[in-house]
Amino acid sequence: MIFKTLTMIKNILAIETSCDETSVAIVQNGNKVLSNLISSQIKVHQNYGGVVPEIASRMHVEKMNLLIEKAFLESKLTLNDIQAVAVTYGPGLEGSLLVGVVAAKTIAALKKISLIGVNHLHGHIYANFLLPKPPKFPFIALIVSGGHTQLVLVQKHFQFKVLGSTRDDAAGESFDKIARFLELGYPGGPIIEKKAHIGSDKAFKFPQAMKKIGYEFSFSGLKTAVIQEITRLKKEKISFKIEDVCASFQKAVIDILILKAIKACQDHHINQLVLCGGVTANQTLRNAFEKSCSEVGIQCFVPPLDFCTDNAGMIGAAAHYMYKTKKGINSNIKVNPNLEI
Ligand code: KG4
Ligand code: ZN
C-alpha cells in the first residue's frame, strides 16, 4: 500500500460501480454534493430475477463516460477543478469494481491527481456525514444492505469494531428472496414496502431468529418460515393477501433490527445510532427506528434518501475524511470483492 502526502483537496470526483448501479458524484469539502448521478441497471437485471455480473460490468462500461461528462455539466466544474478521484474498490462484484477502478486510475494518472480507494461499507456509513448535522464519535452503526447486515462500533474516523453480522442472508437479500418467491419482481425491498403499506403486519406471526443471542442476525429462518406458510396456504387452498405477507415479513425484519441495534447502543452506553445501506430507504423502517430510539433517548441518524442505496456521493464523503484523517491516501488500489469493514 502506497501512501502519499497531499496538499489541499477541495473537490473530489467519486465513482461507484460495486454492483448494479453506475454512479458518479462530485463532492466539495466532504459534505456538499454538487452532483450525484446514478444510472440503475435494474430494468435489465429484472428480466433475470437478480443481478447478472457479466451484464453489470458491460453496462458500467457503457455508462461511465456519459455520467462523468454529465456530472461535470451539472456541477459546473471541469476536470481541472478536481484534486482527487475516489473509487470503490470492494466489496462487490469483481468485474463491476474493475470498471470503476480502471476509470478512476486513468483519470488520476492523466491529470496527475490523487487517487483514493474507498471501502464500499465505509461509504455507506459516511453517507451520514452528508447530513446537515452529522453524528459525533463514538456511535453505533447498523449497515443494512443487499450484501451486509452488521452492527459496528465506530470509535473515531475509520476505527471500526464489528459487534455482530448476519450468519446467513443479509436483510436486503431476504427482501429480495421473498419478493422473488412471491413473484413480485426485483429488487424486493421497494416492492415489498409498497405492498406492505396496504397490508396488516399482524396477519402473520413470523419468527425472529436469535432474539437473545448478542448482536448477530439470521434471516434465512424467517425466509423459510414465510415460504413454508405460503406453500401450506396454497396447498390447502386457503386464501390470503400478499399485502399481509409483505407487511408481516417486513415487520419481523424491522423489529429484530431495532431490538439488536438499541441493545448495542445501551450495552455500550452510546446514545447515537447511525443507520445506512439500501434497506434504510424503507420509510416504515425509518419511522419505526425514529420512534423506538426516541423512546429510549437514542438519537437516530439516517442518510438522505438519495444516499441510502448505492451512490458515489457517499464514496466522495468517505474519501474526504480518509484524506483528512489519515493525512495520506491509498493510491495502489487493487479490487477486493470480499473486502471487509
Ligand atoms: O446498499 P444497496 O443499494 O446495495 C448493497 O450494497 O447491497 O442495497 C440494496 C438492497 C437490496 O436488497 C434492496 O432490496 C434493498 O436494499 N432495498 C430496500 C428498499 N430499497 C432498497 N429494502 C427495503 N425497503 C426498501 N425501500
Ligand atoms: Zn451498498
Q: What percent of the chain has pLDDT over 90?
A: 90
Burial of 108 (0-12, 13-18, 19+ CB in 10 A): buried
* Ligand 1 within 6 A of CB of 127: no
Average pLDDT over residues 211-221: 92
Under DSSP, the state recorded for 8 is -
- pTM for this one? 0.95
Q: Is the N-terminal amide bond of 138 cis, ω within 30° of 0?
A: yes
Segment 104-122, tens digit of pLDDT: 999 999 999 999 999 999 9
Q: Residue 86 phi/psi, 5° resolution?
A: -110, 145
Burial of 297 (0-12, 13-18, 19+ CB in 10 A): exposed
Q: Which ligand is nearest to the CA of 145?
A: 1
Atom of ligand 1 nearest to the CA of 310: 3
pLDDT at 249: 98
Q: What is the DSSP letter of 246?
A: H
Is the pLDDT assigned to residue 2 strictly greater than 80? no
Whole-number pLDDT of residue 3: 44
In angstroms and rounded to an integer, the radius of gyration of the C-alpha atoms of the chain is 20
**Dihedrals phi, psi of 335, to nearest 5 degrees:** -65, 145
Ligand 1 atom showing the smallest separation from residue 120 Cα: 6
What are 56-87's pLDDT values in tens digits?
A: 999 999 999 999 999 999 999 999 999 999 99
Q: How confident is the model over 237-258, as a mean pLDDT?
A: 98
Phi-psi group of 297: left, alpha or beta (phi > 0 → left; psi -120 to 50 → alpha; rest → beta): left
Question: Ligand 1 within 6 A of 145 CB?
Answer: yes
Q: Any idea how long the chain is?
A: 341
Which helix (H) or strand (E) element contains residue 318?
helix 312-326
Predicted confidence (pLDDT) at residue 237 exceeds the cutoff of 70: yes
**Alpha-helical regions (H) of 47-128:** 53-75, 94-111, 120-126
Cell of 21: 448501479
Q: Which residue has the cell 469493514?
A: 341
